Amino acid sequence: MEKESVNPKLQHLRGSIQDALTINLHILGQTMNLTIERSEEELYRKAERLINLRYNMYASLYAESRDNNRFAAMTLLDIALMAQKAEFIQSDVITKLAELGNKIASDLEE
């Protein structure tokens, strides 16, 4: 029953893609068949590489553990922290640009 309620949502998402492309991603031993915007293919490929590289890094650093769930959790945490840092830097840059714009406008008024 759950699948029936999800399918119309997936169909709607697929229908909203303008220039669709179907790709296969291989992440942590899983193959994912995705329909995406053609213009976003490079982003998906880079994300695939980043996830696999980070996971493999943790798996080799802690090879004695052999805890795949732990490696996956560490990978997720690492990538989430990267996203948070990037968001913080972006918001800091935007704030500084706004301040600079206000100062320029103020200086021009004088």
* Cα separation, 33 vs 25, whole angstroms: 7
pTM listed for this prediction: 0.68
Decide which of 100 and 30 is more confident: 30
Q: Structurally, how many domains does the chain consist of?
A: 1
The crossing angle, in degrees rounded to 10, of helices 68-109 and 41-61 is 130
Residue 33: which domain range?
2-109
Give the pLDDT of residue 34. 93
Q: Give pLDDT tens digits for 42-99.
A: 999 999 999 999 999 999 999 888 888 899 999 999 999 999 998 888 888 888 888 8
